[in-house]
Amino acid sequence: MAKPKVNTMEELSLAIGVSRPTLSRYFQDPASVRDSTVKKIQRGLEDVDYVPNFFATRLNRKSTGLIGVIIPHLNDLFFTSLLEVIQQSARAQGYTVITQSSHGDADLEQHAAGKLMSMNADGVIVAPLGEGSSARTFERLMTSMPLVFVDSHLPDALPGVPFVGTDNTQSISLILDYLCQAGESPLFLGMPKLNSNAMDREAAYLAEMEKRGLRSEIVPGSSQTAGWEFEAYAHDLMDEHFSNGRFRTGTLLCANDRLAIGALRAANRHRLFNRSGGLRIAGHDDHPLSRFMTPSLTTVKQQIDRIGEEAVSILAGLISDGRPSLEAKETRMFETTLRVRESA
């Protein structure tokens, strides 16, 4: 039998015999109500169909219990994996996540930030667009709520905003050591210069090659301005190089797995894996589909779980301290591990 529907706090008060102010205190902070009354309310709630209004129960609190997340794109399994971790970690701490995608557009990123401000979110975790971002968007956001950057950051523009991500120097060094030990030293296929990872991974490649006394080479064209369609970008670029007889042997290190998936496809079309002494390709991230590619993709695995959990944990700390940001720049960078598969 369906339970009787109760729509308002007044009706609930009548239905379970506890005064409205006491109910109100219970929903805002159960610890402020006597244990025997808590039990009476909990027993009563089991017998009716009542949903407390999310905002009404929070109108008198400082906190809305909302955490905003802004990511550049939803159609990217790296970001959705991170988002799943953030959602689960936030839910475990009693927060509700509001996700906004900036769809690769600085105006929409600003719009998303404004929306989260107008909703009085308690704090925001942002994987910024990067070069396309307006620093002003986040300076303004910081006047309203604490902010944590995840995955990539805005270099120097916003001191005091914590950053949680991958240690790109460690990850590039790790994959270079493996590639150089097992064969020729690699060329580098960079991401379009969209965010700090694009800059940091290319810089790490150049520095680590020099440290090893090896000649570095960046695949031409990879520095061009381009969008977030990484597979298509890498496929089209490498298809053109391969068609012109360039880079058909040797080793190619890609700045992320989505690029490597596009490069693998171009290499397969040119049958570059079928010969001995053929091409080797490696990626970065351990994208969920990288092990299903042919050849399966050799890469380094980011610790997405720890990155997402740490971002939520730092943000929750700032929220409970009532602080908009840290006094000093703080970065938490996690190491990667090698995933050796068939492609290199």
Contact footprint for its own copies (CB under 8 A): 5, 49, 51-55, 74-75, 77, 80-81, 83-84, 87-88, 96, 98-99, 101, 103, 114-115, 117-120, 140, 143-144, 231, 235, 261-262, 264-265, 268, 288-289, 291-294, 296
Residue closer to its own copies, measured from CB, 110 or 168: 110
Residue closer to its own copies, measured from CB, 144 or 185: 144
The minimum distance between CB 35 and its own copies, in angstroms, equals 25
Q: Which residues contact 329 (CB under 8 A, 6 or more apart)?
A: 159, 160, 161, 163
Residue closer to its own copies, measured from CB, 114 or 132: 114
Residue 266 · residue 295 · CB < 8 Å:
no
Residue 269: phi and psi, rounded to 5, are -60, -35
Nearest to 284 by CA among 216, 211, 186, 210: 186
Report CA dihedral (203, 209, 213, 218) to the nearest 10 degrees.
-90
The minimum distance between CB 294 and its own copies, in angstroms, equals 4
Residue closer to its own copies, measured from CB, 78 or 163: 78
The minimum distance between CB 338 and its own copies, in angstroms, equals 21
Point out which residues pair with 126 in neighbouring strands: 70, 149
The minimum distance between CB 332 and its own copies, in angstroms, equals 23
29-34 contact pairs (CB < 8 A, 24+): none
Residue closer to its own copies, measured from CB, 121 or 318: 121
Instruction: Enter the tokens of residue 46.
Output: 């089991």
Question: CA 309, CA 74: separation in Å to the nearest integer?
Answer: 19
Residue closer to its own copies, measured from CB, 36 or 274: 274
Instruction: Enter the tokens of residue 341.
Output: 């598969």
My answer on whether omega of the bond before 324 falls inside 30° of 0, hence cis, is no
The minimum distance between CB 147 and its own copies, in angstroms, equals 15
Residue 238 · residue 268 · CB < 8 Å:
no
Residue closer to its own copies, measured from CB, 201 or 235: 235
The minimum distance between CB 155 and its own copies, in angstroms, equals 22
The minimum distance between CB 163 and its own copies, in angstroms, equals 23
Residue 69: phi and psi, rounded to 5, are -130, 130
